[in-house]
Amino acid sequence: MTSDWESLDRARCGDDGGWRDLVERHHARLVSVVLLITGSPDAAKDIAQEAFTRLFSVELAHRSGTVGGWLSTTAYHLAVKECQRAHRQEQIEGVDPPDAAPSPLDGMLIEERDRHLAAAIRALDPLHREILVLRFYGGQSYEDIARLLNVPLGTVKSRIFYAVKSCQQTLRDRGLLE
């Protein structure tokens, strides 16, 4: 399996396989991250595509991070801009985040769990929601989130703790956790 950086180099040289590798590895996660931030499935797909377009067209100064991290950060910024532009967030009730193809029964159970989890995440206040999404769906480290949002590291840790605790309580209230 080639690294993301190698796949990006291949894609930039015209190899469709390199581009396909990157999209297969990161597209579903990016759509999930943006969907949880914006609440709009259409915006999520468009923003994920825009993040890939920017990756392909921008000249990166260094490669100290990961392609996935770069894509997540770009998608996050685009999603925040979309929310600010729209001044509204659509409900995502009934919208399933994309996932791998499990068995039909597993798929139904995963879809139901994801639906309830997405609703619990969407119920969080924006400060807790964005940090939780960046950490668990965007794959960002605590330090990266602190830099990205310009808040102290302790604030990031505290918000994640309380966001997880709140989601757990919401799921307990719905009878989904013991």
Spatial contact of 33 and 133, defined as CB atoms under 8 Å apart: yes
DSSP class of residue 176 equals S
Per-residue model confidence (pLDDT) at position 99:
53
Per-residue model confidence (pLDDT) at position 6:
83
Per-residue model confidence (pLDDT) at position 88:
45
Backbone angles phi, psi at 79, to 5 degrees: -65, -40
Per-residue model confidence (pLDDT) at position 152:
93
Per-residue model confidence (pLDDT) at position 100:
52
Q: pLDDT, tens digit, for every residue of 115-158? A: 888 888 888 888 898 888 888 888 888 998 898 889 999 999 99
Per-residue model confidence (pLDDT) at position 67:
81
Per-residue model confidence (pLDDT) at position 162:
92
Residue of higher predicted confidence among 159 and 90: 159
Whether the per-residue pLDDT at 89 is higher than 50: the answer is no
**Burial tier of 143 (Cβ tally within 10 Å: 0-12, 13-18, 19+):** exposed
For the chain, which domains are there?
Answer: 4-173 (1.10.10.10)
Whether the per-residue pLDDT at 92 is higher than 70: the answer is no
Whether the per-residue pLDDT at 161 is higher than 90: the answer is yes
Q: pLDDT, tens digit, for every residue of 23-76? A: 888 888 888 888 888 888 888 889 888 888 888 787 776 677 788 888 888 888
